[in-house]
Amino acid sequence: MFEPLNTAGDDTAKRKVLLYGHHGWGKTTQLKYFQEHFGKGFIFSGESGLSSIRSAGIDYLPFSSWDDPSDPKKGKYSFKDIFKWTKSEDFKKKGYTWIGIDSLTELSDLSYQHAEKEEKIRAEKLGKKNPDGFAVWGNHASQLIGACKAIRDMNMHCIVTALAKESTDDNGNVDYWCMIAGKATMQQLPGIFDCVFCGVRVTQEIEGRQQVLRYVITDEVRGWHGKVRDEKRRLKAVEKTGNIVELLKRLDMDDDEYNKLKTKEKK
């Protein structure tokens, strides 16, 4: 007999976030905010910049390949081996409440390299001079999108970060997408996540002094491709903040809490 799930259940309460933006916005810093709000978390790290959140004391493992043999004694781990560990009882015992990938840009490069290497091996076995380029891109897309879906589907909050890439179409329109290999993959990615936040950093002169202002775009604005599952329409298309957890808190508030917040903001 089937037992229907309910939309108000625990699974739908987990936040699945993609955050992308240019260098210096504070993407990695959001992992610290996740830890402060959601509790103990774990990071798949492809970045060397975790020193910016050193004080947060977040568990992580660094990945340096997609599927090469891991050697924990030498500090070498593949993304696939780390992911396999997240499905183990040992991982469950850690009590993590959220998981992050920092960053998808790094992981994308490793995914493409692996797909290219595998296709070269296949071509050599078949006696072909060159690997099939279409197969390389297809396998890369399948790997990367599959990895994002697998992380998203874990029963915990998740955050995936990526650099932003600027592109101009034939009509001169500028778009900002996640910096990952493959145009089709790049455009498919936002559909996987509940929230796609775009971090924008602006320098303005205020009272004779240069100040850095940070914004989060949550919708389709000026070439950025944000979105949010905002059942009660609480977020603006452009929010002035450098902390996406503030936005997630607002989404999770009950009506009384939200009304109190709005009253406080008006004072």
Angle between helices 244-252 and 29-38 (to 10 degrees): 30
pLDDT over 80 at 242, yes or no: yes
Question: What's residue 205's pLDDT?
Answer: 81
Question: What's residue 9's pLDDT?
Answer: 64
**Contact, 56 vs 43, CB < 8 A?**
no
Comparing 246 with 266, which gets the higher pLDDT? 246
Q: Decide yes or no: CATH 3.40.50.300 for domain 15-197.
A: yes
pLDDT over 70 at 11, yes or no: no
Question: What's residue 8's pLDDT?
Answer: 65
The string of pLDDT tens digits covering residues 177-197 is: 999 999 999 999 999 999 999
Q: Which residues pair with 196 in a beta bridge?
A: 18, 227
Domain residue limits, the chain: 15-197
Q: Angle at the Cα of 119 (from 126 to 153), degrees rounded to 5?
A: 135
Of 266, 236, 267, give the one whose Cα is nearest residue 251. Answer: 236
The mean pLDDT of the chain is 93
Mean pLDDT of 154-177: 94
Two structure tokens written together for 223: 């070439």
